[in-house]
Structure 1
Amino acid sequence: MIALPPLLAGFLGTVGLAFIIGLELHAYRRRGEAALEPRAQGFGTTRTITLIASLGFVLWVIAPVTPFCVGLGVLGLALMLDYRKRVRAGDASLVPTVIGLIAYALGPLILTAPLAVIAALAVLVLLVLGEQVQIRRFSDAFPTEEGVTLAKFLVLAGLVYPLLPSTSVPHLAGITWAKIWAAVLVISGISYLGYLAHRYLFPRAGTLLTGVLGGLYSSTAATVVLARSVRAEPQAVAFAPAAVIIATAMMYARLLALIVLLGHMDAALALTLPFGGLFVASLAVAGALAWRARGAQTRMHAPVSSNPLDLPVAFLFAALFLLFAAVTQFVTAHFGAAGLHILSFAVGFSDIDPFILSLLDGRFSVSAGAVTGAVLIASASNNLLKAVYAMLFSRNRQMLPAAGWLCVTAAISFALALG
């Protein structure tokens, strides 16, 4: 295989990528002009973008400081004059201007940046140009309050988290302030992605999809929502038991993902077999129930749960994390593994995520096997709670298969933890 010289390979890559971007920009301009009166194409042709990229590459090779910066200044002035002309003609879009600057920087980027960064930039540019209508629809539909909440989350992730010390919380060995906030950010991020998918990508999701998406942010909340919907719409009960089981299956996947993302690989390996087995078995049971219900009404108007990224919820999670860590420290110090198992069973009837993550982060006077068993017990008692919720809020005997399977998974988890 013939290897091209680095400069030649970089130049060809710059020209090829600029040509593709130019084609997409040309199509973008044509779509914009189709809605207005015909006029000259102006800046933004494929040839122009390709030549700008070539110029940037050549000037960077000559000298990456003075010639390149002078060329950038001249290009910026030309783009400013072009923008002024387009504004007078009724076209105030900055997209062609920004694309021109990006094209000029393609050469230095290809010569110096990792391939993944170049690919990410190319994908971003092509998506922005090619999905103009879809992006506009999403922008119009995106509520203001969602943007404010997301902005607060980014502040907490980008400003607060870096400022937190990596020192341990007093009297809680192994648990640092940074670890607590990292857990808050990770679980809130995963939950928020599931919430956004449910609310905006699949707002009219069928019953089974409601179970999948709901389980991503809270299998307990999803069970309550599905059970209440069954009571409100008894005719749509056919797929509800399968959806409840799917939500619990997603709980196992979500917990494993959280444990891996937060770096607890030993615990993840220990829980892969039990959680993975319960995940697969739950999907199989849900599939059997869905197959039995085929042909019935598949749509259920289940409301979307509240935004899980609300800041009070994040602070509550952090407070529960600290509380469970302190309680676990006391219980394990005075009652050992037996006390931890009892505590895990009790905590399962509340929010198990902060308990499980605090349990894995801390250094308690029990073995790693006892910690893994406590995670299984907490998930088991949480399934018992969901079984009660499924029957209590639906008041429908057709939910019995879901409640029964949740009890079976709880029994299996108890057996694995105590066996």
Structure 2
Amino acid sequence: MDEIELYQRLGLAIAIGAAVGVERHWRAKDEPEGARAAGIRTFTMIGMTGGVAGLVEKYLSPGVAGSGIAVTGFLVAMTLVVAVFELREAIASKSFSVTSVVAAMLTFGLGVVAVLGDMTLASAGGVALLAILAAKQFLHQAIQRLQWVELRSAVILLAMTFVLLPVIPEEPIGPFGGVSPASLVLVAIMLASISFVGYVAVRILGPSRGDLLAGAIGGLVSSTGTTIAFARQARDEESSRTLAAGAIAAGAVSLVRTAFLVGTLAASLLPSLLPPLAAGGSVMTAYALLLAARASPSDGARMPQNPFELSAVAKMALLLVIVAFLARAAATYFGATGLILAAGLSGLADIDAATVAVAGMLPTLTRETAVEAIGIAVFANIAAKAVYASALTGRAFSLHVWGASILASLAALAVTLVPPVS
């Protein structure tokens, strides 16, 4: 570590302290001089103290260097001083908070990291600390508005993702490639996440815009899963309208995603597939926007339902995995000649699997066969989502999904059948 780098590292420690100090000082800017326990100067020096502690630690005698004695001593002394003055300020103002003490400890620690560790990590930590401190009002308001059902659902979703998923085996079980237990849990997490995103969007934006946005976001993950999740939430005619708009928006996004996959994995197929995909996606987008615009003002008063129910999510995840398993079985039994059938069966659950599979087989397939396989997967997926909507919910939701699906399919077919201009 040369002299210039030492200057840079100590300068970063000072800059982190100054950034935190600006935020702390700004919150108490209306206080008279001497009424603040720690402001911009104090926090700047705390960051510098962390950097100096790191330098002292670095240049101690070889037998002591690296023991942490210098950093620990500086940290204990600095924390005690800040805590005493913060306590005196809290008693005087009758407002108790440990935030500034913890912020001082973190600023000191980041100053040490800047000198002894990774400068990028120290910079990122400083930005994160500053963002947390600046978000006080937003975070407090969010907690005030938080309901138990939202907290419970978030905890369950986090537990499924970070506790359950890592311990589930990934190796497939069964014939025809089998079914991976981890994939089943992953699909359940995906469905639950879509429901939760939709719930949050509706709470923030209202049903007409919230369902539309949540559907578009869900379409980036799985339009089939989004349609199923929204169908389970449709309770009456008014909610069905906005939820159907979201499901249709998911379908439009899935067509855009398919075009992107084709362009990335099999660019030679894009001239044949892009026009029908664009036509179908445009029709679905227009239908979803029109449906959302027709939402009545009373829709805004609709409270969203439970973000997700584990039993329903598990059933839907199992259904999608079974459909994908049957598609692989069909491909195994019928061989290469069963590609079209396998693509259609895969489309009952998802378009991406068929698209990726066909793209991987492209060197051994004719262009016409590859285009036909992906096209059938797309049409099968559109039809499957309409069938799922009819099976899972009432007439109002399914009618809109069927209407958009039929119009989009007709538009895609019309573009496909138009002879190319010579």
With normalisation by structure 2, the TM-score equals: 0.69
Q: Which runs of 5+ in 1 are unaligned?
A: 258-264
Q: Give how far 1:147 is off.
A: 1.3
8-17 or 303-312: which moved more?
A: 303-312
Instruction: Give the partner amino acid of 2:378.
Output: L
Counterpart mapping for 1:273-312 below 5 A: 273=270, 280-281=278-279, 284-285=282-283, 301=299, 303=302, 306-307=305-306, 309-312=308-311
Give the 3 Å change call, closer, same or farther, for CA 168–283 of structure 1 in structure 2. Answer: closer
* Counterpart check, 1:26 vs 2:25: yes
Which secondary structure state, in structure 1, belongs to the residue aligned with residue 36 of structure 2? coil
Instruction: Give the partner amino acid of 2:77.
Output: V
Instruction: Give the partner amino acid of 1:376.
Output: V
* Counterpart check, 1:70 vs 2:88: no
Aligned residues of 1:386 and 1:406 also touching (Cα < 8 A)? no
72-81 or 385-394: which moved more?
A: 385-394
Q: Give how far 1:148 is off.
A: 1.7
Q: Give how far 1:146 is off.
A: 1.4
Query: Hey, what does 2:265 align to over in structure 1?
Result: 269
TM-superposition CA deviations, 1:336-382 (whole Å, max 9, x none): 46667557657767xx25x9669979xxx998959856642432323
TM-superposition CA deviations, 1:168-214 (whole Å, max 9, x none): 3243537543344344445544x1563254223312544xx642323
Instruction: Give the partner amino acid of 2:407.
Output: W
20-29 or 330-339: which moved more?
A: 330-339
Rounded to whole Å, the distance in 1 between the matches of 2:82 and 2:276 is 59
Instruction: Give the partner amino acid of 1:212.
Output: L
Query: Hey, what does 2:409 align to over in structure 1?
Result: 407
Q: Which runs of 5+ in 2 are unaligned?
A: 59-67, 219-224, 418-422
Rounded to whole Å, the distance in 2 between the matches of 1:296 and 1:110 is 56
RMSD: 5.0
TM-superposition CA deviations, 1:113-133 (whole Å, max 9, x none): 362x44543343333222322
Aligned residues of 1:346 and 1:381 also touching (Cα < 8 A)? no
Give the 3 Å change call, closer, same or farther, for CA 147–197 of structure 1 in structure 2. Answer: closer
Instruction: Give the partner amino acid of 1:328.
Output: A
Rounded to whole Å, the distance in 2 between the matches of 1:121 and 1:277 is 47
Give the 3 Å change call, closer, same or farther, for CA 342–358 of structure 1 in structure 2. Answer: closer
Query: Hey, what does 1:8 align to over in structure 2?
Result: 7
Q: Give how far 1:66 is off.
A: 1.6
Give the 3 Å change call, closer, same or farther, for CA 199–242 of structure 1 in structure 2. Answer: closer
Q: Give how far 1:53 is off.
A: 0.6
Which secondary structure state, in structure 2, belongs to the residue aligned with residue 165 of structure 1? coil
Query: Hey, what does 2:64 align to over in structure 1?
Result: none
Query: Hey, what does 2:204 align to over in structure 1?
Result: 201
* Counterpart check, 1:58 vs 2:63: no
Counterpart mapping for 1:283-362 below 5 A: 284-285=282-283, 301=299, 303=302, 306-307=305-306, 309-336=308-335, 341-342=340-341, 345=344, 352-353=349-350
Give the 3 Å change call, closer, same or farther, for CA 332–150 of structure 1 in structure 2. Answer: same
TM-superposition CA deviations, 1:284-310 (whole Å, max 9, x none): 446767999999888672757645554
Give the 3 Å change call, closer, same or farther, for CA 411–184 of structure 1 in structure 2. Answer: farther
Rounded to whole Å, the distance in 2 between the matches of 1:310 and 1:228 is 15
Q: 2:42 aligns with which of 32, 41, 48?
A: 48
Q: 1:379 aligns with which of 378, 381, 399?
A: 381
Percentage of identical aligned residues: 17
Rounded to whole Å, the distance in 1 between the matches of 2:408 and 2:246 is 12
Q: Give how far 1:141 is off.
A: 0.7
